[in-house]
Amino acid sequence: MLGKKLVTAQKRGETRALCLGLGMVACSMMMYFFIGITIVPFYTKSVWTTETVCKVLKANIEDKVLCPDSEGSEDEDIFSYPCLQVWVNLTASGQEVMLYQTEDTLERNPKCSYVPDKSENSKEVKARIETIASNFKKYHTFPCYYDPGGTQTNVILSRLYPPKGLLFAFLWPTLMFTGGCLIIVLVKISQYVSVLSAWQ
């Protein structure tokens, strides 16, 4: 009687462990799919792949510009901010080009090197842009990214999804997939040992 209870309990434990392993594998596949349709396209679309050194030539704050995202909104909802324009000397080619914060900055407003968040306070935005401009004037040389193919003649300060970030994004689903497969293998080994013991 006790042996039957132990066998039943063992089967229930194996079933739960097997379901856990299959669930982890299924979740990891969903995460792979989500990363594949969100992060990977942005990574492959970016042409600023080569790192070089940029030297600041000038960092000017122009008149306020309207946020492109505010088109069609009412007057009180229009978001304007000082336009920071940073021009640098690209060491790789010696050209004078405009610097942008990320790939997204160029798409949102190609006239400005930095585009603040629409929800930020106007005073905070102004203070931040002035701080950024002073930092560029203080630190003249810094790493940046350019397009080696020459499609884009400008440079960016940092990539939205660098190779390390992409690998880190794939790390968690990979660990979950490996853990799920390991659980399934251990359950199958346990079942095989149990059948082998019962046969002997």
* Look-up of token digits 């002997």: 200
pLDDT attached to residue 116: 86
pLDDT attached to residue 107: 86
pLDDT attached to residue 32: 93
pLDDT tens across the length of the chain (200 residues): 544 555 565 677 778 888 899 999 999 999 999 999 988 888 888 889 899 999 999 888 887 666 554 444 444 445 678 889 999 998 877 789 999 999 988 888 888 899 887 766 778 888 888 899 998 888 888 999 999 888 888 999 999 888 888 888 899 999 999 999 999 999 888 878 877 776 76
pLDDT attached to residue 77: 46
Length of the chain: 200
Q: Rounded to an integer, what distance in angstroms lies between the CA atom of residue 122 and that of residue 147?
A: 33
- The half-sphere exposure of 80 on its side-chain side, counting CA atoms within 13 A, is 10
pLDDT attached to residue 98: 93
pLDDT attached to residue 125: 85
Cα angle value 166/171/175 (rounded, 5°): 165
Does residue 157 contact residue 144 with C-beta atoms inside 8 Å?
A: yes
pLDDT attached to residue 87: 93
Q: Rounded to an integer, what distance in angstroms lies between the CA atom of residue 195 and that of residue 200?
A: 9
pLDDT attached to residue 78: 56
